[in-house]
Amino acid sequence: MTIEHHDLVHELPEYRDQIRTLKMENAHFAKLFDEYHVITREVEQMEAETLPVSTRTEEEYKLKRLQLKDQLYAMLKEAGN
């Protein structure tokens, strides 16, 4: 099975420069960014079955990742205005 990588820069390439800037200038963004990537790595391990968990747990992690991505995206949009 092919595992898709969901790091934020690949998910939102048009915001590459803003991501870099906000990571350095906004502590809250940096915290959410780091949390997003920790969860993403864990989900990738679950999908690769190197971290065995229930389907429910995997889905909960994916939902959390999506919520973080939504928050980060909103912050990126706001910074662009």
How many angstroms separate the CA atoms of 8 and 35, rounded? 11
Residues 21-76 have pLDDT tens digits of: 999 999 999 999 999 999 999 998 888 888 788 989 999 999 999 999 999 999 99
What is the pTM (predicted TM-score) of this model? Answer: 0.87
**Confidence category of residue 3, pLDDT binned at 50, 70, 90:** low
Q: Is the model's pLDDT at 1 over the cut of 80?
A: no
